[in-house]
Structures are given as C-alpha cells and as structure tokens.
Amino acid sequence: MGKSKAAKELFSWTKAIITAVLFSCVIRMYLFSPIVVDGESMMPTLQDEDKIILSKRSDIDRFDIVVFHATKEKDYIKRVIGMPGDHIEYKDDVLYINGKKYEEPYLDNEKKEYGQENLTEDFKLEDYTGAETVPENEYFVMGDNRRNSLDSRMIGTVSKEKITGQAEFLYWPMNDIQLIK
C-alpha cells in the first residue's frame, strides 16, 4: 500500500507540473510575453535593458508602443504614430494627423532637454514612403528618441502581421515599475 500511495502522489505532482507548464506556455504564446528593450530609440519613455510585458491583443491604437519583427533576427520597439488611412506631417516639431494637430506629452521631457531645437524634422508621409496615406493594415511608427531612432522614416510602414504585441507593463528596474502609456 505504501508504494501505491507514493505512485499516486508522484502522478498527482507530475500532472500538476505538466498542467502548470502547459498553462504558462499558452499564456505566453497567446496573451503575454516578457521582453527586454534593446537600444535607446524609445528614450526617455523606455530605457535600454528595461524589462517589459507585452500584451498580444490584436487591437492597435494610435500612440501604442508596439514590438514588431524588423528583420528575421531583430525585433524593434516603437510608438504607433500613423494608423491605416492617416496622412502624417510634422511641421515646426508639431505632429499633424489628417490635418489635425496632436500633442505628444511623452516627448515633453525630451523637448525640455533640447530647448529650442526641434526633436522631429519637418516632413510629410510622402517624403519617406511615397504614399499620401498609411496603407491598409500598415502602421507608421517612430521612436520617442526622435534623433536616434531607426523607424518608419527609414524602414517604411510596418504591416500588422509583423507586430508581435503592445508594451503594457514595465517591471524592471523595480524603481520604475509602471503601466506603459
């Protein structure tokens, strides 16, 4: 009877561990995923080596921070500026989407640091992409560190299929824990 009880106990633990592993794999594959920020293109919002949680939800909104496959080997993290159908223009360091002026409060600290200098050069979407509007199922993305960001100004728009998730939660370093806006 001792062996039977030990076998049942071992089976019970094995079943619990397998269930937990499968559950965590499903969560990571379909709901959330941890990543490490690589580079300075999202400063000051995100720093190099910050650890964040991505949500794998499929709805993407303007100004979301997204991660996408830039190359086979490399993922980029950038902010969505232009949605499908949008016309984008920067003039005198001000963002205009479809002719409407938009505030970018996430750039306020950076603007204070540079003073009178513009963070973002003047341009229209067609200057970089040749198109007047962001194509269907595509997004125009930019890093918050406008002077040091490889983004849609250089690589073009990003297809929805390449986006792996939205940045939701910064969990490391611990003194910077926060929901990402």
The residues assigned a catalytic role are: 41, 78
**Residue of 74, 86, 85, 99 lying closest to 162 (CA atoms):** 74
Write the burial class of residue 125 (CB in 10 Å: 0-12 exposed, 13-18 middle, 19+ buried): buried
**Residue of 55, 56, 58, 35 lying closest to 46 (CA atoms):** 35
**Residue of 87, 30, 89, 41 lying closest to 65 (CA atoms):** 41
What is the rounded distance in angstroms from the CA atom of residue 66 to the CA atom of residue 164?
Answer: 8
- In one-letter notation, the amino acid at residue 27 is I
> What is the enclosing helix (H) or strand (E) of 111?
helix 108-114
